[in-house]
Amino acid sequence: MYVGANIIVSGMVQGVGFRYFVHTWATRLGLVGYVTNLYNGDVEIETEGVRSLIETLIEEVKAGPRSAHVSDVKVKWKTSEHSFHGFEIR
């Protein structure tokens, strides 16, 4: 099932290669969307794809790269808008 998800990741997730980590996994899983740093120190992931593959991405994000420390992951599932053509770092 093709769906969308907005994922907010909290913790020590900026300045540690987190966006590149997310980009690598999302691309590997064939997901589309983007990852960006937020002003409050969180990282936001907006993605679309097969739900089971997004769930795989979420599990990887919970672990994060070695230099990161993830304290919380919030996911809001939604209907896919088919508005992305690849996965980018913003």
pLDDT tens digits for range 8-32: 999 999 999 999 999 999 999 999 9
Contact 70, 62 (CB under 8 A): yes
pLDDT of 83 over the 90 cut: no
Over pLDDT 70: what percentage of the chain?
Answer: 100
The 8-class DSSP code of residue 17 comes to S
Which two tokens mark 34?
A: 């983007």
Contact 63, 70 (CB under 8 A): yes
Question: Strand locations in the chain, DSSP E?
Answer: 2-12, 32-37, 43-50, 69-78, 87-89
Show me where the domains of the chain are located.
2-89
The CATH class of the 2-89 domain is: alpha beta
pLDDT of 39 over the 90 cut: yes
pLDDT of 54 over the 90 cut: yes
- pTM for this entry: 0.96
Q: Mean pLDDT over all residues of the chain? A: 96
Q: Mean pLDDT over residues 49-53, rounded?
A: 97
Closest CA to 47 of 12, 60, 63, 39: 60
What residues are labeled active site?
Answer: 19, 37
